Structure 1
């Protein structure tokens, strides 16, 4: 029997701490409960919204229909072949706890993705990434429920259309519900230390031998020094994607702004630092009511207490307009917006 909560306050279910209500909320812990909830929604023609950890979310109004809070748990080693180890995690597993579990097993590959908030099931949607590693680098497959066909399917990496903070699951929203995730890790350390601050932190340790646990600890230290803890100051992490521009546009911008960080991509485009652009425009540390830009990291919008979704979105829109006018660059928001 499903326990459906009517008019549920979602404030504690999103890291922005925004108080908006779901018309109906149900927690699902396994595939059977999920299918029951979907069947009920279909019967009553309720719109369905998925909710993971709420760490990449802006609630801009009440959420109609049925909100499914995914709370499935479980993680396991699926196979070992030489140095390669495939692990599986249920969609509701906490991502950072999964990273730590893999490190406890002596496995490598997830250390650069330490301390990213959210659930395992949400990780492929956003193709999460940090410090030179993206999820697709270690991705094996996902098991999904296809709402169009009613089938449970396994999708491998080549099916998922991964790109920078993008995937099939964002391109076809609402069709696929991720049930569980498989990752391809290694029992042999192969640290990815190309990201400048991480490379410097590693060098400062004086260690000569690769150690995934140490890399994870360094990543956590860097993240904690740059990003506010949502439990202390409500936020959804990096709010804007780093924009991609043509080589010609990057060159023209750097002639005007010599300090602008830019990174060449495999397709010849350049990735710019959104936080640098926002800081140069003078938004860092600004505040409008309870919605603001973090004092230490211009890429993070924060809720100082009672900001509504419309306040956060209004601030974000003003920043986007200013950056476009100053630099000719469009900033795209990372979080998903619900309730509009």
Structure 2
């Protein structure tokens, strides 16, 4: 177990904000996690469990305990002629997991290549890209209830997955700490390549998990900045999902508006397009920038503070609402 006081979090948030936490606690196994959860001091303190901080915006220093898992491991727990079931520790780097499964020839994760963060956080967020979400391949989640200390294996259905949403985001009502997840992957995969940029990149190539992974990484590198080089949290806002009637009214005013029809009749509209139409793409606001290749991404140009990023995000929300009547919702979680 690792315990640090007044701990710098710059390496634990991908905006690279210079914030600190009052305490930082990292556990290496489930026994250490239970010792922390049962500790009276811990129970009295404000606490936050994080992965690599790839979806967090720290407004200021965190006056509480940051809890972090160091539980790793990738293990095949079950196989059939068609499928393989893989159990993965929460602290495994997500893209390392994708690379491992692709190298084995298993299908299901290739479209989720290049997404920063750790595996436990991926299950909290229900990460998604290029027509695939984590819920499409997740079998179950192992988690501890932070209030009762009970360990439970939670099925896919019980995770209550939605668009960038899950049971695990309801931290006030029923806080759960994920220690591992189990994925169901295909031994004879049929890849999903229906997105325009992906189709173009794969034109004339054999469609395999390995080729799809390389195409996804190529497309992502063209559109999204590397957090290691330019602080960001990826897509800052969720893509809004509109009723069909509202979308049709917008389509009449803006015939060029991109869209993705959903099975339930609603329509998903790219938030990046809406932001770009409001003139924010490529603009700088002090130490905060709107990425010049993808307006959905806010970047730390070097010395931004969390509250400054939040102020730019709010100005974007207000502009989009005023012009399109659509209220953008942050995908990034504000802390502080």
For 1:237 and 1:9, locate their aligned partners in 2 and report how far apart those are by CA, in whole Å.
22
Does residue 189 of the first structure (1) align with residue 189 of the second (2)? yes
Question: 5+ residue gaps in structure 2?
Answer: none
State whether residues 22 and 66 of structure 1, in contact with CA within 8 Å, keep that contact through their aligned partners in structure 2: yes
For 1:310 and 1:182, locate their aligned partners in 2 and report how far apart those are by CA, in whole Å.
37
Does residue 293 of the first structure (1) align with residue 293 of the second (2)? no
Q: Which residue number corresponds to residue 256 of structure 1?
A: 253
| Count of paired positions | 335
For 1:9 and 1:40, locate their aligned partners in 2 and report how far apart those are by CA, in whole Å.
23
Post-superposition CA distance 1:207-230 (Å, at most 9, x none): 3x4311011000000001100011
State whether residues 41 and 47 of structure 1, in contact with CA within 8 Å, keep that contact through their aligned partners in structure 2: no
Q: CA deviation at 1:48?
A: 1.6
Does residue 159 of the first structure (1) align with residue 146 of the second (2)? no
Q: How does 1:14-29 map to 2 (within 5 A)?
A: 14-29=13-28
Q: Which residue number corresponds to residue 202 of structure 2?
A: 202
Q: How does 1:175-186 map to 2 (within 5 A)?
A: 175-186=175-186
For 2:302 and 2:268, locate their aligned partners in 1 and report how far apart those are by CA, in whole Å.
33
State whether residues 240 and 299 of structure 1, in contact with CA within 8 Å, keep that contact through their aligned partners in structure 2: yes
Equivalent position to 2:233, from 236, 239, 259: 236
Does residue 266 of the first structure (1) align with residue 263 of the second (2)? yes
Q: CA deviation at 1:152?
A: 0.3
State whether residues 22 and 64 of structure 1, in contact with CA within 8 Å, keep that contact through their aligned partners in structure 2: yes
For 2:171 and 2:13, locate their aligned partners in 1 and report how far apart those are by CA, in whole Å.
23
Tell which deviates more after alignment, 10-19 or 42-51.
42-51
Post-superposition CA distance 1:239-261 (Å, at most 9, x none): 01000111111011111111111
Q: CA deviation at 1:148?
A: 3.0
Question: 5+ residue gaps in structure 1?
Answer: none
Tell which deviates more after alignment, 189-198 or 317-326.
189-198
Q: How does 1:1-340 map to 2 (within 5 A)?
A: 2-40=1-39, 42=41, 45-173=44-172, 175-203=175-203, 206-207=204-205, 209-339=206-336
Q: CA deviation at 1:267?
A: 1.9
State whether residues 16 and 58 of structure 1, in contact with CA within 8 Å, keep that contact through their aligned partners in structure 2: yes
Q: TM-score, normalised by structure 2?
A: 0.97
Q: CA deviation at 1:42?
A: 5.0
For 1:41 and 1:185, locate their aligned partners in 2 and report how far apart those are by CA, in whole Å.
41
Tell which deviates more after alignment, 59-68 or 313-322.
59-68
Q: CA deviation at 1:172?
A: 3.9
Q: CA deviation at 1:149?
A: 2.4
> 4+ residue runs of structure 1 moved beyond 4 angstroms?
41-44
For 1:42 and 1:102, locate their aligned partners in 2 and report how far apart those are by CA, in whole Å.
41
Cα distance change on mapping 1:41 and 1:100 into 2, 3 Å: farther
Post-superposition CA distance 1:251-293 (Å, at most 9, x none): 1111111111111112221111100000010000111110110
Cα distance change on mapping 1:56 and 1:44 into 2, 3 Å: closer
For 2:180 and 2:108, locate their aligned partners in 1 and report how far apart those are by CA, in whole Å.
18
State whether residues 226 and 297 of structure 1, in contact with CA within 8 Å, keep that contact through their aligned partners in structure 2: yes
Post-superposition CA distance 1:175-227 (Å, at most 9, x none): 10001000000110211011111112111xx23x4311011000000001100
| SS across alignment from 2:273 | helix
For 2:298 and 2:39, locate their aligned partners in 1 and report how far apart those are by CA, in whole Å.
37
| SS across alignment from 1:121 | helix
Cα distance change on mapping 1:215 and 1:118 into 2, 3 Å: same
